[in-house]
Amino acid sequence: MIISRHRTSQRSDVAAFIAMDVMSQAAALEAQGRSVVHMEVGQPGFPAPQRALDAVKTALPSPLGYTVALGRDELRAGVAALYRDWYGLDLDPRRVVMTTGSSAGFQLAFLSLFDAGDRVAIADPGYPSYRNILKALALDVVRIEGQAETGFQPTPEAIHAAAKQGRIDGLLAASPANPTGAILDRAALTALIDACHAGGTTFISDEIYHGLHFDERAVSALEISDDVIVINSFSKYFAMTGWRIGWMVVPEALIPTVARLAQNLFICPPHVSQVAALGALSAHDELEVYRQGYARNRALLLERLPQIGVSSFAPCDGAFYLYADIGHLTRDSRAWCEDVLINAGVALTPGLDFDPVRGGQSVRVSFAGAQDQVAEGLDRLADYLTGKRG
């Protein structure tokens, strides 16, 4: 037995990212020769768009050294142009900060905006790394318990109620949200931003699933106010998870602060990934084919899950997740998902990853993969549940 002589910090004592644990367990089964259908992680089943790959092939013979900390100027201008094309906004490229995935964007936002002990609100269910990054930075997480009738999204009323227990320094909201896929419409997002501004609360908008919608598109917080921080990524709509390239849009006054932090923490985002991202920005036609594939997968889930006994889910307006109530099947979603993985060969993420209080009765189903895999996963789940009922 090896005993470490080094103590660990209190802030490093964060919860595991259960979706990644499930992915590791699935990989271990596959190494044993088992077949597993992956419906646990938000990993597009498509490759990076061809224009991204072509851009990299062209650039590889050249030295790909450090770039400036905030990213290549032409890429920042390309992202600014995206806001014109998608939202009709005239965005100054200087406000665009390229990051090493959205994860670095969250770190830069939290470090530039808050001091240790500040209180930042997030809605549950929500992306687990929000609370874990906040805790690791010695920030206090204020849990907003989302309600089914509002798509589990935060509301002005919930923010006002939380503020009675102490000042809310920041609110992080996602639309489309992970794990629910729920989108805040323009009126709801405006009301939320107005409530934050009135209370002196900084509003951070997670928009990494923008572009992935099935009816009305998601509204950017920048369409409502310039006094917000927006975080986005090439991981989801652009199908570039492993490239680790994302961006932030910050108010002009915050640029020097973010630049100093980025220089010291990351030096710069991966240069080759910036090259790929610039190519991906011109791959709209290819990416829309991907989105249509997710739409078909979503339709398949909405049709077949009720047929096999799972009929209650959050609004699935965007992203590529369905957050289902399985309270009639279990009160321990982690144990249930482990049993499904072992006995049915389907990897799912337990709701406890997203809501430590109520998530024992929920499960997130990712439909980011290929349609034949989604269909196969549903077949296996049907057999599993039939066996349980039998």
- For the chain, which residues score pLDDT lower than 70? 1-4, 388-390
**348 and 249 share one domain:** no
Find where tokens 């196969």 sit: 376
Looking at 227, 260, 282, the residue that finishes a domain is 282
Residue 80: inside a domain, yes or no?
Answer: yes
Looking at 282, 306, 340, the residue that finishes a domain is 282
CA 325 to chain centre: 20
**275 and 290 share one domain:** no
- Confidence at residue 388, expressed as pLDDT on a 0 to 100 scale: 65
**81 and 225 share one domain:** yes
Domain that holds residue 211: 62-282
**37 and 151 share one domain:** no
User: What is the rounded CA–CA span in Å between residue 386 and residue 390?
Assistant: 6
Please give the tally of structural domains in the chain. Answer: 2
**273 and 299 share one domain:** no
- Confidence at residue 387, expressed as pLDDT on a 0 to 100 scale: 81
Residue 139 per-residue DSSP state: P
What tens digit of pLDDT does each residue of 282-302 get?
Answer: 999 999 999 999 999 999 999
**278 and 299 share one domain:** no
**147 and 273 share one domain:** yes
Q: With contact defined as beta carbons under 8 Å apart, do 219 and 175 qualify?
A: yes
For the chain, helix, strand, coil in percent to 5 are 45, 15, 40
CATH of the domain at 33: 3.40.640.10
User: What is the rounded CA–CA span in Å between residue 367 and residue 38?
Assistant: 9
Contacts of 105 (CB under 8 A, 6+ apart): 97, 99, 231, 232, 233, 246, 247, 248
- Confidence at residue 389, expressed as pLDDT on a 0 to 100 scale: 55
Residue 31, class by beta-carbon neighbours within 10 Å (0-12 exposed, 13-18 middle, 19+ buried)? exposed
**320 and 197 share one domain:** no
**66 and 189 share one domain:** yes
**236 and 318 share one domain:** no
Looking at 248, 282, 316, the residue that finishes a domain is 282
**31 and 132 share one domain:** no
The neighbour count for residue 386, using CB atoms within 10 Å, is 11
- Confidence at residue 18, expressed as pLDDT on a 0 to 100 scale: 87
